[in-house]
Amino acid sequence: DLSGWVSLIEGHQLRIITPQLDTSEGGLVLLTIMAALAHEESATKSSRVTAGKRRQRAAAKFMSSRAPAGYRLSDDITGGLEIDPEAAETVQEAVRLYLEERLSLRGTAETLNNAGRYTQRGEPWKASPLRRVFLNPIIAGQVLLDDGTLTLCAGLTEGVISVERWSELRQRIDSRKAV
């Protein structure tokens, strides 16, 4: 609580002095009012941001400033994605290696790196980020709505892989957890 902080500060013979107030001259009341107003403003902003994100999710918008693996941000649709053909090809190859060649996540990452196929940021693939890419529904073009259902992301007509292929990925990853 603010008055406790002020008491602690004043207990050490210190004062809070700003151009607007001085706690030694009745400034505690003004400081309390300013803190209450700041708290109210913060709560209002938080509510607006939360409502905005809810609207974006309801409209199946992708909510990040960086495109996920296999995509690029749409120039035409705010919150929309487009498939990046070159990056999508790398993701599809990773999925093929993992599901059809039965490589481990680490083996898949190493194979991609050895072939000169890096992440969209030009970094080598690693097992853990590759696992996150595989488990994220956006790989299949899907975004999670507030009601827990998946729907196609704004701007897309399909994902980098099919929903069925994504299900296979999740099943393989889940089966390896049990081992």
Successive 10-residue mean pLDDT values, the chain, 179 residues: 74 75 69 85 92 82 91 91 96 98 97 96 96 96 92 94 96 80
Exposure class string for 38-76: b at 16+ Cβ within 10 A, else e: eeeeeeeeeeeeeeeeeebbeebbbeeeebbbbbbbbee
The pTM score is 0.72
What pLDDT does 27 receive?
67
Measure Cα distances from 38 to 28, 42, 51 in Å.
Answer: 15, 6, 20
CA–CA separation, 3 vs 22, rounded Å?
14
What pLDDT does 4 receive?
77
CB atoms within 10 A of CB 90: 20
What pLDDT does 50 receive?
82
> What would the two tokens of residue 177 be?
């957890």
